[in-house]
Copies of this chain bind each other. A is one copy, B any other.
């Protein structure tokens, strides 16, 4: 027994470190090569570990793959919910605040390493592991989209937006702020920071043209001109 501190981190130190570096390396290689194309020796080399150690930790290639996906899903979800918590409930400058939110969502959840990898794995292996990715669907979009919708509903209730269906509005918001990044996403790349900002800015402006509160004809015209 460990009468020291943090009982579950202390004893296996290099042990757990190796486990992590294996999962990490496996994510990289599975994404780059696909499940069938990935080979264990490559993962071992990438992790700086012998092949046998991988088998000791994870049993076989398929178990390792499942671990990788669950790991990524968990971390991505945590990131998304953390970002949703920064959604502007009482915006000072609605446009700027929504742009900020969109950029954070993209940079911290969709374009970062985990987001990119998870997206790629879902796209490439989704059909082969229906249960695993059904789980992702429920835990991912199934939970995050309604959460974002709820935030938009709150903005509408607070008089900042005119929205009929918050769920539709949330999906369209995401579609708009990512509209210019589709090709990059397709090829598995990461957009530059300024591309993310540009796409978010254009998307939010259009979103507000559609759903923003119309004060009067003149002030509406002002904001349209100001944003151009």
Contact = CB atoms under 8 A, between A and B. Distances in A.
B228 A226 contact: yes
B126 A172 contact: no
B34 A168 contact: no
Given A137-B187, A217-B219, A172 B176 contact: yes
17 contacts: A32-B127, A34-B37, A36-B36, A36-B37, A120-B123, A123-B124, A137-B183, A137-B187, A168-B202, A168-B206, A171-B179, A172-B176, A174-B179, A175-B179, A206-B210, A223-B225, A225-B226
A174 B168 CA distance: 15
A10 B62 CA distance: 50
Contacts of A174: 179, 182
A174 B179 CA distance: 8
Given A35-B37, A225-B223, A171 B175 contact: no
Specify how many copies of this chain sit in the oligomer: 2
Contacts of A221: 219, 223
* List of 5 A-B pairs having minimum Cβ-Cβ separation, nearest first: A36-B37, A175-B179, A209-B210, A210-B210, A175-B175
Interface string A173-216: 01110111011001110000000000000110011011100001
A127 B116 CA distance: 13
Contacts of A224: 223
Contacts of A210: 206-207, 209-210
Nearest to A186: B122
Interface string A32-71: 1111110000000000000000000000000000000000
Contacts of A36: 33-34, 36-37
Interface in A102-125: 119-120, 122-124
Interface string A145-189: 000000000000000000011001001101110111011001110
Contacts of A182: 141, 171, 174-175
